[in-house]
A and B are shown apart, each in its own frame.
Chain A
Amino acid sequence: MLARRIIPCLDVKDGKVVKGVQFVGHEVLGDAVDMALRYRDEGADELVLYDITASAEGRTVDYNWVRDIARALDIPFCVAGGIRSGEQAVKCLNSGADKVSINSPALERPDLINELAEMAGSQCVVVGVDSRELDGDYYVHQYSGDPDKIRAAGRRTLDWVVEARDRGAGEIVLNCMNQDGVRKGYDIRQLKLVRDLIDIPLVASGGAGAVEHFTKVFEQADVSGALAASVFHKKIIHIPDLKRDLQTAGIAVRL
């Protein structure tokens, strides 16, 4: 049986994992390679490494740390942050990343999705969608990493995920912004709506705070994976315990 994936997301700056969003006052949590291996040992199924400096500084990912992680890691990982061209994505994949995730650049220039899918194959192309509920519907936001730049992208989430799929995305990570950082659970309703619309893997993001949130999102929204950051970094949830509880609840996980 295909296992549901548990995916820690690490914010990386200059090869170090940092806590919080960008700007001043980063707390360094550890070396990116060490932390990636620690999560591997704990049973993470996949990692997302988000290069926070890349997007904030308008440059692309530094491929040396991607290479260092690829050298050490024996589970799949996805690199996000600052990828704006097919060439950059291919460089990143050639450095050993399994997938690349694009978000704001795909909204600026949707053809980027087609280009990446043609150059590297859909299975390498993840489209990240930051979505916020407004008056009963859901709208895509961009530049969400920067409070000064964040804005509505002028697209309905339910339209954008279908367009992204049609353009060749191999997976969607839906970050439900109303839930983000609140730890009150994933946005089941929104995830379910998206899940019913697309036939490619969907990963839930935003809102994980307790084990039952994971159980619920797999059972009710039928997502392929669940992404979380702070609950893992702050050791509120320990991945081996989470997976055992999911298994007890009858959810297929890799133990």
Chain B
Amino acid sequence: MSRVAVIEIGCANTASVLFALERLGAEAVLSSDANEIAAAERVVLPGVGAAGFAMSRIRELGLYDTIRALKQPLLGVCLGQQLLFDSSEEGDVDCLGLIPGKVVKMDAPKPLVVPHMGWNQLEAVAEDPLTQGLNAGDYAYFVHSFVCPVTEHTLVQSTYGQPFAAMVRKDNVWGCQFHPERSSAAGAKILENFLRV
């Protein structure tokens, strides 16, 4: 089946993305090698931690141009989705610029707690190859403190204090703010769809 490169930039939690793809029968490899990533049929950009650290790792590894030049399906997960945008308020850093907009700090006044951690519902699910089989009201597992803006590129919206983009798409580039690899059936559905696009 499909060969997927999971970009390894030195952030934790890449193993769980790899395992989720393997559960679906995909041949997935962790890689920070530009040639290997460019040659993969599909690419996943996972990530937890801080945007500034992740972007400096992407540049150090010489992957900035590689990722931007990908024509095959690319899926950013969690921080990986945020890195797809123009810039992030977290560390005031320029990101990959594949999706227009700026990632901002979550506005979650008391009694809400930050990070937004746990299972939240997907709302306003737009039609897309990646959202096939997903329904508004399905739960997904989120862990984040910064949010991507709701724009024309938003596929799925969620709300925590404010509405934000839970899934995005522009051309060959998709993003999930939640962790599909930890979102049980709904997450597996999205990854399965990604392996088919």
Q: Are B118 and A75 in contact (CB under 8 A)?
A: no
**Interchain nearest-CB distance for A247 vs B (Å):** 13
**Interchain nearest-CB distance for B136 vs A (Å):** 13
Q: Are B119 and A2 in contact (CB under 8 A)?
A: yes
> Counting CB contacts under 8 A, is B183 at the interface?
yes
Stretch at the interface among A9-17, A151-159, A182-190, A199-207: A199-207
Q: How far is the CA of A233 from the CA of B170 in the complex (A)?
A: 46
Q: Are B179 and A199 in contact (CB under 8 A)?
A: no
Q: Which residues of A contact B181 (CB under 8 A)?
A: 74
B12, B118, B143: the one within 8 Å of A93 (CB): B12
Question: Per-residue CB proximity of A185-215 to B under 8 Å, as 1/0?
Answer: 0000000000000111110000000000000
Q: How far is the CA of A171 from the CA of B22 in the complex (A)?
A: 30
> Counting CB contacts under 8 A, is B49 at the interface?
yes
Which A residue sits closest to B140, measured CB to CB?
Answer: A254
> Counting CB contacts under 8 A, is A29 at the interface?
no
Q: How far is the CA of A63 from the CA of B115 in the complex (A)?
A: 26
**Interchain nearest-CB distance for B63 vs A (Å):** 19
Q: Are B113 and A224 in contact (CB under 8 A)?
A: yes
Question: Per-residue CB proximity of B183-195 to A under 8 Å, as 1/0?
Answer: 1110110000000
Stretch at the interface among B13-21, B36-44, B148-156: B13-21
Q: Are B114 and A200 in contact (CB under 8 A)?
A: yes
**Interchain nearest-CB distance for B21 vs A (Å):** 11
**Interchain nearest-CB distance for B48 vs A (Å):** 5
B23, B114, B119, B144: the one within 8 Å of A254 (CB): B119
- Chain B interface residue count, CB cutoff 8 Å, equals 39
Q: Which residues of B contact A2 (CB under 8 A)?
A: 116, 118-120, 160
Q: Are A200 and B15 in contact (CB under 8 A)?
A: no
**Interchain nearest-CB distance for A79 vs B (Å):** 12
Q: Which residues of B contact A45 (CB under 8 A)?
A: 118-119
> Counting CB contacts under 8 A, is A1 at the interface?
yes
**Interchain nearest-CB distance for B41 vs A (Å):** 22
Q: How far is the CA of A46 from the CA of B118 in the complex (A)?
A: 9
Which B residue sits closest to A120, measured CB to CB?
Answer: B12
Q: Are B120 and A1 in contact (CB under 8 A)?
A: yes
> Counting CB contacts under 8 A, is A19 at the interface?
no
**Interchain nearest-CB distance for A153 vs B (Å):** 25
Q: Which residues of B contact A75 (CB under 8 A)?
A: 141, 182, 184
Known: A95-B15, A200-B113. 7 other contacts (CB 8 A): A1-B121, A3-B118, A70-B19, A71-B23, A123-B145, A199-B113, A222-B111
Interface residues in chain A, defined as those with a beta carbon under 8 Å from any beta carbon in chain B = 1-5, 40, 45-46, 67, 70-71, 74-76, 90, 93-96, 98, 120-124, 170-171, 198-202, 222, 224-225, 254
Can you show 11 pairs from A to B with CB atoms below 8 A apart? A2-B160, A4-B118, A70-B16, A93-B13, A94-B14, A123-B145, A124-B13, A124-B48, A170-B115, A199-B114, A201-B118
